[in-house]
């Protein structure tokens, strides 16, 4: 028994937004499965729209505003991540990418992550596999096998009808995320300020092309 923080990053622009709607459904499903396994999740939702200016400023100045720093710190500290973007022009939205562009190296390394997206029609659904999944693979996130795409028409379909509907995919993805989160050791992120690499090791490893972390 313990708590596990789950951070939800959603890049929807409308109010209300179907991207947020999908994020909320995924979140409550994941919460349910986590509770079933004896874990009480702390959920934090980050609406990227609120950070649009701060993200641009961070790119230009090289440092985050206090509000954006708090948001990225939540993501780094989270045990699990749900990342949801609308699909624009065959890929994630620019706002969604901005957020992941300003994260420090290794922020998502090994982090159980559920990716999801919304779009007008199901023809955009593979953007999850050719755009979001490679992005998170590059960031070394542990992306769960099921990614969830919700086209507009999916919101009008139930679970029956002989095919796997949106509700089923949400359930399956959330179960995978919850299992992955429950199994994950709470890894303290490496903090080189609290625990610096001693100089003798820096000196020895400067001569080593693989660098100090390889020892």
Partner 1 sequence: MQFGVFSVSDVTTDPTTGRAPTEHERIKAMIAIALKAEEVGLDVFASGEHHNPPFVASSPTTMLGYIAARTERLILSTATTLITTNDPVKIAEDYAMLQHVADGRVDVMMGRGNTGPVYPWFGQDIRNGIALAIENYALLHRLWREDVVDWQGRFRTPLTAFTSTPRPLDGIPPFVWHGSIRSPEIAEQAAYYGDGFFHNNIFWPKEHVERMVGLYRRRFEHYGHGRADQAIVGLGGQVFMRANSQDAIREFRPYFDHAPVYGGGPSLEDYMEQTPLTVGSPQQVIDRTLSFREFVGDYQRQLFLVDHAGLPLKTVLEQMDMLGELVVPVLRREFEALRPAHVPDAPTHASLKAKAANEANEANATAADAIGTDPDVPAVVA
Residue ranges that bind partner 1, judged by CB under 8 A: 56-57, 60-63, 65-66, 69, 192-193, 196-199, 202-203, 205-207, 209, 211-212
Closest CB to partner 1 among residues 89, 214: 214
Residue 133 sits at φ, ψ, to 5 deg, of -60, -45
Q: Are strands 142-143 and 112-119 parallel, antiparallel or unpaired?
A: parallel
Closest CB to partner 1 among residues 62, 156: 62
Minimal distance in Å, beta carbon 99 to partner 1? Answer: 17
Closest CB to partner 1 among residues 120, 211: 211
Minimal distance in Å, beta carbon 177 to partner 1? Answer: 32
Minimal distance in Å, beta carbon 166 to partner 1? Answer: 40
Minimal distance in Å, beta carbon 47 to partner 1? Answer: 20
Determine contact, residues 32/106, Cβ cutoff 8 Å. no
Closest CB to partner 1 among residues 61, 89: 61
Closest CB to partner 1 among residues 162, 209: 209
The CB density around residue 193, as the number of other CB atoms within 10 Å, is 5
Burial class (CB in 10 A: 0-12, 13-18, 19+), 140: middle
Minimal distance in Å, beta carbon 54 to partner 1? Answer: 8
Cα–Cα dist 7/42, whole Å = 8
Peptide bond into 83 cis (omega under 30): no
Minimal distance in Å, beta carbon 199 to partner 1? Answer: 4
Encode 29-39: b = buried (16+ Cβ within 10 Å), e = exposed.
bbbebbeeeeb
Q: Which residues contact 59 (CB under 8 A, 6 or more apart)?
A: 98, 101, 102
Closest CB to partner 1 among residues 60, 188: 60
């Amino acid at each position: 028994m313990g708590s596990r923080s789950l951070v939800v990053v959603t890049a929807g622009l409308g109010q209300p937004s179907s991207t947020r709607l999908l994020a909320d459904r995924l979140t409550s499903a994941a919460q349910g499965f986590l509770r079933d396994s004896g874990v009480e999740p702390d959920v934090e939702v980050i609406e990227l729209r609120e950070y649009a200016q701060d993200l641009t400023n961070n790119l230009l100045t090289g440092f985050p505003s206090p509000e954006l720093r708090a948001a990225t710190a939540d993501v780094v500290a989270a045990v699990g991540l749900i990342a949801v973007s609308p699909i624009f022009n065959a890929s994630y939205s620019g706002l969604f990418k901005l957020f992941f562009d300003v994260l420090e190296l290794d922020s998502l390394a090994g982090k159980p992550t559920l990716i999801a997206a919304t779009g007008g029609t199901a023809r955009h659904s593979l953007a999850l596999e050719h755009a979001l999944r490679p992005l998170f693979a590059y960031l070394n996130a542990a992306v769960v096998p099921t990614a969830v795409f919700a086209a507009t028409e999916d919101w009008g379909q139930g679970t029956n009808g002989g095919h796997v509907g949106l509700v089923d995919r949400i359930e399956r993805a959330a179960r995978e995320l919850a299992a992955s989160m429950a199994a994950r050791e709470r890894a303290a992120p490496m903090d080189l300020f609290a625990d610096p690499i001693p100089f003798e090791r820096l000196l020895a490893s400067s001569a080593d092309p693989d660098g100090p972390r390889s020892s």
